[in-house]
């Protein structure tokens, strides 16, 4: 089974802090994704990566950056957290040639 692990289930940070959300997958997938989930809005894509050090902006990249230094790990970075970034963040991965995304359990981030 594909396993996508997000290092934190809950995080509480202060406005202006730099925040790192980590995601690791164990299936050697080339593609990894970060989504933000808000009530009534479904999932919105922040960034995705199709290879090590390669990334593309999704639909709502403002205020976020990402890092993919190793194939199995994809990090989401909030350079200066703001209260409007309080949300549930979901990581996903996908293998090449396969159109199914596998999701982690999510990180619920509160920015105070």
Partner 1 sequence: AQSVTQPDIHITVSEGASLELRCNYSYGATPYLFWYVQSPGQGLQLLLKYFSGDTLVQGIKGFEAEFKRSQSSFNLRKPSVHWSDAAEYFCAVGARDNFNKFYFGSGTKLNVKP
Binding residues for partner 1 (CB under 8 A) = 4, 6, 9, 31, 33, 40-45, 48, 50, 56, 90, 92, 94, 97-106
Choice between 27 and 45, CB closer to partner 1: 45
Choice between 33 and 75, CB closer to partner 1: 33
Task: In angstroms, give the least distance from the CB of 62 to partner 1.
Answer: 19
Choice between 44 and 73, CB closer to partner 1: 44
Q: Are 79 and 85 in contact (CB under 8 A)?
A: no
Task: In angstroms, give the least distance from the CB of 5 to partner 1.
Answer: 10
Task: In angstroms, give the least distance from the CB of 33 to partner 1.
Answer: 8
Dihedral sign for Cα 55, 103, 1, 65, please.
positive
Task: In angstroms, give the least distance from the CB of 16 to partner 1.
Answer: 28
């Amino acid at each position: 089974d594909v396993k996508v692990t997000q290092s934190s289930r809950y995080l509480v940070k202060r406005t202006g802090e730099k925040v790192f959300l980590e995601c690791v997958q164990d299936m050697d997938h080339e593609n990894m994704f970060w989504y933000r989930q808000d009530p009534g809005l479904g999932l919105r894509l922040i960034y995705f990566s199709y290879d090590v050090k390669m990334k593309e902006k999704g639909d709502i990249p403002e205020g976020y950056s990402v890092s993919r230094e190793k194939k199995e790990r994809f990090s989401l970075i909030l350079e200066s957290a703001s209260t409007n970034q309080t949300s549930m963040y979901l990581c996903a991965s996908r293998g090449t040639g396969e159109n199914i995304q596998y999701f982690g359990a999510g990180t619920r981030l509160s920015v105070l």
